[in-house]
Amino acid sequence: MVAYSTVSDSFPESQLSGVACPAKALGPAERQVLAIRVLAGTKTISRLAGEFDVSRKFISQQAVKAEDALKSAFSLPKPAQDAVLFYLPVTKPFIEQLVLGLALDCHSSVRGVVALLGDVFDWHISVGTVDGILQKAMLRARSLNAQQDLSGVRIGAHDEIFQAGWPVLVGADVDSTYCYLLTPEDQRDAETWAIRLMELQDRGFHPDATIADAGTGLRAGQTLAMPGTLCRGDVFHALQTVQPLVTFLENRAYDAIEARTKLERKRAKKQRRGEPTRGLNARRGMARKAEARAIDLATDVATLADWLRQDILSLAGPDYPTRLNLYDFVVAELKAREALCPHRIGPVVRALEHQRDDLLAFAAQLDRDLASLAEEFRQPVATVRALFNIETLDADAPARWSRQAAFRQQLGPRFCPLSEALAELVRLTTRASSVIENLNSRLRAYFFLRRHLGPDYLALLQFFLNHRLFMNSRRPERIGRSPAELLTGHRHAHWLEMLGYTRFSRN
């Protein structure tokens, strides 16, 4: 091969000029060196073409060939379609792990597991064998669940769900989403709840507060088992009680508008025909009055619902006493309109009347937290609250940054630490048991496969959901960690390894 530095000396222009076609005179080695010179970029294509007395098109062709050769040399060969990727030692423990993975990770039914093993692995097992594998894991999972320390639970969320007509008591930590209670029961009365909560207390369960809906048995049970722990009201369920009323009244107003419009069209048609419209005139007048009443009622109730959602039960808002007064005002205004739609407004009024203190318990705690921060940073409570309300805005909200700028200038070096403390308070202030609703949606994917649930099966589900890592989450601190790790702050082994199995690993 000709040396890179001696190309021009080895092929002087005087020797190439006499050749009829200099490009044809270049052998493979010379063309290779020429292509390397082009790719190296030490000289332009035009200059190289002049030195070798060839066209620029010829030089470009050699460069393309060289690029293709480089790509081919450094590209990985495509494996054949039937190439062996890796070998898998299929043992009895591996089959058991596969059964658990299919049942829990893939939400497969027992018969689905049997079908897959037969179709893919040519391994035929019975439904009873699959059930036995699950039962073995259930016993281990129940033991591990009972060993978990629950002293890290700050706010607990409780609820009752139903499967095949039977209640299932559910409890989860709001911060970590760790499920510490998942038991099927014959009853959901106060005594049942009290017994389950006492059992949790034996494992260190002493939360600052709990959140639940207005279930009487649930709240009475907590009063018996944990008399010193406040059970806050679930804002989500309260708002879900009001919203259907707003929707119903809006639809009724639209129906009234449509009824009035039909009468006016009918009246106009008769007028064009010259027919009498006396009867329609009276009906149109009544329809207009009914329409006005329906629109006014729908507008008023929608406004009251907006105040309840955006000003009273929202995270950002006035202090606790002001919220109490506004809450009473909204309930009083709804009650004043109850006669206009008693079968719809009445139940909402009675529900709100009995939940005021529970629903606004978060606001009372928020006042105490803001007062503590105001004392720590030596700022007026009103200033701290105003900055807290700004922290509740979305990060991309234009109003957030303009308002923050004024406080940044006012507070100076105290702004950043105070802002960080308020952001943490926003994260820790809990108004709803949303974690339970999320947990219920995840459980439904398993419940529909089995009509009747036993306590052992639920114990396995509880263990699996608590020790499986979050793949995605709105909260970055949760990604790649399990609820158990978030609760305790300590890493744990893979859930299959915790059940006693050695996981397969490729060399």
Predicted confidence at residue 24, as pLDDT, reads 78
Q: Which of 111, 157, 163 is nearest to 134 (CA)?
A: 111
Residues constituting the chain: 507
| Structure tokens, 472 | 């995605």
Predicted confidence at residue 18, as pLDDT, reads 47
Start-to-end CA span in the chain (Å):
42
User: Does 9 have pLDDT greater than 80?
Assistant: no
pLDDT digits (tens, 9 = 90+) for 328-355: 999 999 999 999 999 999 999 999 998 9
* Burial of 484 from C-beta contacts in 10 A (0-12 / 13-18 / 19+): buried
Predicted confidence at residue 57, as pLDDT, reads 86
Kindly state the DSSP code that residue 203 receives in the 8-state scheme: T
3-state secondary structure of 155: strand
Predicted confidence at residue 275, as pLDDT, reads 82
Q: What type of residue is 14?
A: S
Lowest mean per-residue pLDDT among 29-33, 108-112, 320-324, 409-413: 29-33
Band (399; pLDDT cuts 50, 70, 90): confident
pLDDT digits (tens, 9 = 90+) for 434-492: 888 888 888 888 887 766 557 778 999 999 999 999 988 888 888 999 999 999 999 99
User: Does 5 have pLDDT greater than 50?
Assistant: no
Q: Which of 278, 293, 283, 292 is nearest to 263 (CA)?
A: 283
Band (421; pLDDT cuts 50, 70, 90): very high
3-state secondary structure of 496: helix
Predicted confidence at residue 11, as pLDDT, reads 45
Predicted confidence at residue 15, as pLDDT, reads 45
| Structure tokens, 392 | 């509740």
In percent, the amount of the chain with pLDDT more than 90 equals 60
Candidate ranges 313-327, 394-408, 435-449; pick with highest mean pLDDT = 313-327
pTM reported for the whole predicted model: 0.76
Query: Concatenated DSSP letters for 63-87?
Result: HHHHHHHHHHHHSPPPPPTT-----
Q: What type of residue is 271?
A: Q
Predicted confidence at residue 4, as pLDDT, reads 41
Return the residue matching tokens 């996981």: 503
The kind and range of the H/E element at 223 are: helix 216-225
Quick count: other Cβ atoms within 10 Å of Cβ 200? 19
Return the residue matching tokens 């594998």: 133
pLDDT digits (tens, 9 = 90+) for 54-110: 888 888 888 888 888 888 777 766 666 777 888 888 999 999 999 999 999 998 988
pLDDT digits (tens, 9 = 90+) for 276-304: 877 788 888 899 999 999 999 999 999 99
Q: Which of 228, 236, 245, 431 is nearest to 331 (CA)?
A: 245
pLDDT digits (tens, 9 = 90+) for 156-186: 999 998 877 788 999 999 999 999 999 989 8
3-state secondary structure of 180: strand
CB contact set of 138 (below 8 Å; sequence gap of 6+): 456, 457, 459, 460
pLDDT digits (tens, 9 = 90+) for 220-271: 999 999 999 999 999 998 999 999 999 999 999 999 999 999 998 988 888 8
